[in-house]
Structure 1
Amino acid sequence: MKDNILIIGGYDKVGRIISKHLTAAFAHKVIIAGRNFQKADALASELDHKAIAYSLDISNCTDIALLDKTKLVIMCIDQKDTAFAKLCIQKQVLYLDITANDLFIEQMALLDQEAIDN
């Protein structure tokens, strides 16, 4: 069943706030992920382990099985390309990106039709 919320970069400034609020509402369904497992684990501990810590490097993402149980990805890190967003679209995972990078927003807009088709 796809019911997890995956927050990538969920332990930094913006991601931390999102992780705390969503964990309060959806305990044990929030996955705090990023390249630094120690930071993710420290926040999960701070949240009484009602969130799950996970090590994930989206630039070298080979473990896509996680997306099979994920309903929503909230991306809280800047990216260089849309590869991970495309993967989410293909896996029919809702994708929300918290970025202020105009170039990346333009690249994401090019995925509209693929998102609609999936």
Structure 2
Amino acid sequence: MSCPALEEAPGPAAEGPDGKLTALGEVAEVAGGALSLTVVRAELARIVAARQAHDPHLHHLDGRELLGPDEAEDLPDGLHPTATAYRRMGKRFAARAFANGGPFSPDDHA
């Protein structure tokens, strides 16, 4: 899932004056090793890809496929999805995980 305040800037995070989540870290800190969501996502994808060679049952799903950056209106406080967004995320997860060709598809495990 996307979190606009922490995509490029590292935490910690706090509630800003507008009631939305804001990063307290600076984007420039990432170059020195601080972690933004972009850095963490890239590292997780790299690690999973490397380990899949030894474990074909290991899967990775970028949370932005469930709730993307263009859906920020579904995060009223900049972090927590609305009930409608949670339902949409669940449907998207089920479509990717359990549908034909997904990692948990009944067709793939018969």
Is TM (by shorter chain) over 0.5? no
**TM-score, normalised on structure 1?**
0.27
What TM-score, normalized by structure 2, do the two folds share? 0.28
